[in-house]
Amino acid sequence: MRSVTRLDPAEILSDELLERFRERAAVHDRENTFPDEDLADLKAAGYLAILVPRDLGGSGLGLAEASALQQRLAGAAPATALAINMHLVWTGVAKVLADRGSDALRFVQEGAAAGEVFAFGISEAGNDLVLFGSGTDAAPLPDGGYAFTGTKIFTSLAPVWTQLGLHGLDTSSPDAPQLVYAFVPRSEVQADRVIVRDDWDTLGMRGTQSRTTELHGALAPADRVVRRLAPGPSPDPLVFGIFSVFELLLASVYTGIARRALDLAVATAHKRTSKKTEKAYSQDPDIRWRIAEMALAYDGLTPQLDALCRDVDALADHGGRWFSLLAGVKHRAVTVAKATVDDAVLVTGGSSYFAGNELSRLYRDVLAGLFHPSDPESAHATVATAWLGPIEE
């Protein structure tokens, strides 16, 4: 395992930068546009390569530091944080593999340091197998590459990605079926093979521009085919890498939203005064109780994230408990974030119901957390199996 650099998150994401992101977030939400300027600022700050080792041109941070940064970014611009999360996931998976002795995703590390933007092309309509299956066809080519045909949904970073990491099912090779993980570059040559629909118009997280991606024989060259795995659960480090980094960084985004909602509620409680008592709401016992409830829940999230991120980096072995711990922290983060935003709305009162109010946007953005894997059903099934064993056939 490589040594990781420790740093104060404000060194990479300064208060001034976050304020700019926050101002733009309102505009991108209103206009349903991708935050190009945020991406340019993040690139300039070296953010795309925070998880890339120093000797490959990155910052050499660990997952815990990336988690803290993503919490900070999400507190300013949730959609920007969620979009860039997908890129960070692939660089995080590359780190998980490298820490375990495989350089299969070294091109992701080198690409991220060189300015490539990696998107996450896993979700497909109705595919509740997620990583364990795919409805996308992966056709083997004579040179070892693959041609992918299918439809990926919710592809964040749609206007800007340069490489799409995806999976599909090879049903024609002698050892078929095999799930194929590979990267498809975006290029002029592929223009009619990779079609990005202009169909993102959602309740929240509008800046992610997570559009539908049609693949019509999209080509992944042989040196970008990362793994061929039997469908179903797999002990392969790639699957562990995707699952662990995805759940932890995603939980970080929603934890950042919870923190912002808490901060906004505290600020309002100090500002609003009661006509009845002529005191600030911060002196009202009911408001104090509500804010304490929010803080009690929020304070439980950050240590869990920090500990599990460090465990992934330290190659800790939680055996069969790993998946339930990871799905669990994601589930708790989005549940707490949603409840915290609800409470912040109550503390703030009617002004938060206006469309231009930041809390009103957080209320819409935070809802997206429920849909990401592991969704509540999948998280409960994973945790129940960890504690009770599998359901009998």
Spatial separation of the C-alpha atoms in residues 210 and 18, rounded to whole Å? 22
Nearest distance in Å: CB 202, ligand FAD = 7
Q: Give the angle 82-83-87 at the CA atoms, nearest 5°.
A: 110
Binding mask 140-179 for ligand FAD (x = CB under 6 A): -------------xxxx-----------------------
Fill in the amino acid letter for 47: Y
Q: How many CB atoms neighbour CB 286 within 10 A?
A: 10
In the complex with ligand FAD, the residue whose CB is nearer, 11 or 199, is: 199
Which residues in 280-319 contact ligand FAD (CB under 6 A)?
A: none
Binders of ligand FAD: how many residues, by CB under 6 A? 20
Which residues in 188-217 contact ligand FAD (CB under 6 A)?
A: 205, 208, 210
Under the binding rule (CB under 6 A), the answer on residue 373 touching ligand FAD is yes
In the complex with ligand FAD, the residue whose CB is nearer, 62 or 204, is: 204
In the complex with ligand FAD, the residue whose CB is nearer, 126 or 390, is: 126
Nearest distance in Å: CB 180, ligand FAD = 16
Cis peptide before 3 (omega within 30 of 0): no
Spatial separation of the C-alpha atoms in residues 281 and 125, rounded to whole Å? 46
Q: Which residue is nearest to ligand FAD (CB)?
A: 126
In the complex with ligand FAD, the residue whose CB is nearer, 313 or 375, is: 375
Nearest distance in Å: CB 362, ligand FAD = 14
Say how many residues make up the chain. 393
What DSSP character marks residue 77? -
Which residues in 69-128 contact ligand FAD (CB under 6 A)?
A: 82, 86, 120-123, 125-126, 128
Under the binding rule (CB under 6 A), the answer on residue 368 touching ligand FAD is yes
Under the binding rule (CB under 6 A), the answer on residue 252 touching ligand FAD is no
User: Taking a C-beta distance cutoff of 8 angstroms, is the pair 92, 48 a contact?
Assistant: no
Fill in the amino acid letter for 237: P
Nearest distance in Å: CB 86, ligand FAD = 4
Could you tell me the end-to-end alpha-carbon distance of the chain, in angstroms, rounded to an integer?
41
In the complex with ligand FAD, the residue whose CB is nearer, 67 or 123, is: 123
Nearest distance in Å: CB 286, ligand FAD = 34
In the complex with ligand FAD, the residue whose CB is nearer, 13 or 205, is: 205
Nearest distance in Å: CB 54, ligand FAD = 28
Lookup: tokens for 214 = 């049609």
In the complex with ligand FAD, the residue whose CB is nearer, 60 or 256, is: 256
Q: Which stretch binds ligand FAD (CB under 6 A): 59-67, 187-195, 226-234, 366-374?
A: 366-374
Nearest distance in Å: CB 141, ligand FAD = 24
Which residues, 6+ apart, have CB-to-CB distance to 378 below 8 Å?
128, 130, 327
Under the binding rule (CB under 6 A), the answer on residue 337 touching ligand FAD is no
| Interface contacts to ligand FAD, rule CB under 6 A | 82, 86, 120-123, 125-126, 128, 153-156, 205, 208, 210, 368, 371-373
